[in-house]
Structure 1
């Protein structure tokens, strides 16, 4: 009898265990956590088409014959995404032409507007034909032909013009009078055609000047120019007829890219792009490395002539260059090439067998380029 009860007890225990196991087996496994895919923020190539400079001897478009548009292109496929403004129509007036731009914030641009009267910087929303407002319109600050605007590491802005360089705070307040004059001492000399100005992380200013006797680019103290000691370094153009038309500072590699343009490809150097190493501690400029020369464009497989603007996308080492469509000195139109620049090997290659954005009614003349969200 004792063995009988033991057997019954064991059977009951086994049944309970099996039942519990069945319940455990029926309990659903916890759901896997949902994964959220974060799409990267798209980037665009912003374009202004207005009066530009493409090297002395090349005839380009004026404020009244330019396309006078502000728009952006998709950096992946070169398709036009949005047109923001047309300065051929109200509220602009005849002669208004966009010559440069810079980022203001994630939602707005600053656009430099040159004209015979009423020069100004406009704050422009990144939406199609939205209401624009004036950021700066002081005639003293914006005297002389307006060439370019760029953002500085302290969120200010550099405005280059024929008679100097202005620096503005993030609120548009003027610093200096001007920050960098056209007539400087030391080796920086007299500069009557300052076509561009950019800065590096330490605030030093890199400018280009295009004039027959003073084709050069130079480096100015972060505090601006007040004495000869503020002229930190100067680099002459590779030839007397190589006119500086665009300058970039690549912060990750401490390299300066300068584009030169003129009215011939018969001789080397005239229409070219050079790379220069810059030592921010000693303010020394390394020997220039030529990364493109239109004199040998046939072997290169693409033409960069009469460059009017360029910009660099550090996320994928893309160099965008606005170039005339032929070697004719009376420039018929411009287009945009997308190139790949390797800062390590200092080499340039074309990203496609065709232009990134071909010429049309909206590319006369490409006055500035910028990559931004």
Structure 2
């Protein structure tokens, strides 16, 4: 994300913060003066340097992002179709899952702007702002909603009979979801606006801000997922023998859910944020400008692509959120068949009525001909 936020001039306005890094002030000013303007055109997630130095990777990521666009839109649209159409089975888990599907769908729909960036070789600055805003808002929304699902499963399994269980209401889930969206939008938009007007001009301010954002919006949720997964696993291991078979199956499904969430965290989000931390310490300790080397550019684009992959992997989580997903799917299919049946029955009735009318018209015409022939014979 530093490619987004370190691209303006070098007029620092936060002396208290910069005083913590006096030893690297010269490096900060030099980097901003040399690279500030150039990075305005390096906002693209696949910029000209990657196109020139790693053309094969450029083509591969183009194709891969197109596949993610198709798969992400189809799977998340299907999930929204299933969950939103089965309101009778709504719960806190379903609320979080619907919001997760919306976030993943928006991530997938932001990929066309990213593909346009690839095609333009980094020259489409407007596309970069559109993609970067939607990408980071929905990436952090996905992280927080996955964490919310994990906490919800923890409360459902470990504290099923305690007072903490009251936090699993639909109203509480909606409040949490609205708060997640608000925080993600405000934080990302604030970074973009401050960066655009020059409020976050120095990399000495940008990199620490990104480092703290990584801790708050990735490391703490990851620790929460790990701790709650271990807590649920230990709880079920201790009480597994005395459970009824049905409860044992349902709680085993909860372990699979938490393990799936942990895998998504590890595969999709960990590489990107580990790189963020390494870039921060590389600049602070070694004084090296971030993103200048070919390896840095390659690592950046690969980790960003992996973090977008969650829009395709999160639908795996939907199958384990509750045992109601398949029931919801069967309900939607049954409703569809009933609607098709009603349409078919109505069509059949209309066709039958029309055929009766047509027979009546034919009969009247035949009767008129018979009368005409009779009158002709009589005369």
TM-score by length of structure 1 reads 0.24
Identify the structure with the greater helix proportion.
2
